[in-house]
Amino acid sequence: MGIQVDWIDQMRPAVMQFCEETLSTIPKHPADTWSNIGPIIAGVWIVVRARQRALPLQTIGYASIAAGVFSGVYHATNTYVGEVMDIAGMYAFIFACASVQLYRDKTLSSLEATLLAATLAVVGTVLAAYSDLAKTPLFAVVLIVVAYNEITAESVKNYRYAYAALGAFAVAFTFWVLDYSRCLCDPQNHVLTGHGVWHLLCGVAFYLTYRQFATSVTPRQAADDAAPPN
- Dist CA 171 CA 173 (whole Å): 5
Whether the ω angle into residue 219 lies within 30 degrees of 0, i.e. cis, is no
Q: Is a pLDDT exceeding 80 seen at residue 201?
A: yes
pLDDT at 135: 87
Spell out the alpha helix ranges (H) of the chain: 6-9, 30-34, 37-49, 55-77, 80-104, 110-130, 136-152, 160-180, 194-216, 219-226
CA distances from 230 to 55, 134, 223, 227 (A): 21, 44, 14, 9
- Residues 55-99: pLDDT tens digits? 999 999 999 999 999 999 999 999 999 999 999 999 999 999 999
pTM of the model: 0.91
User: Using alpha carbons only, what angle is made at residue 212 by residues 210 and 217, rounded to the nearest 5 degrees?
Assistant: 90
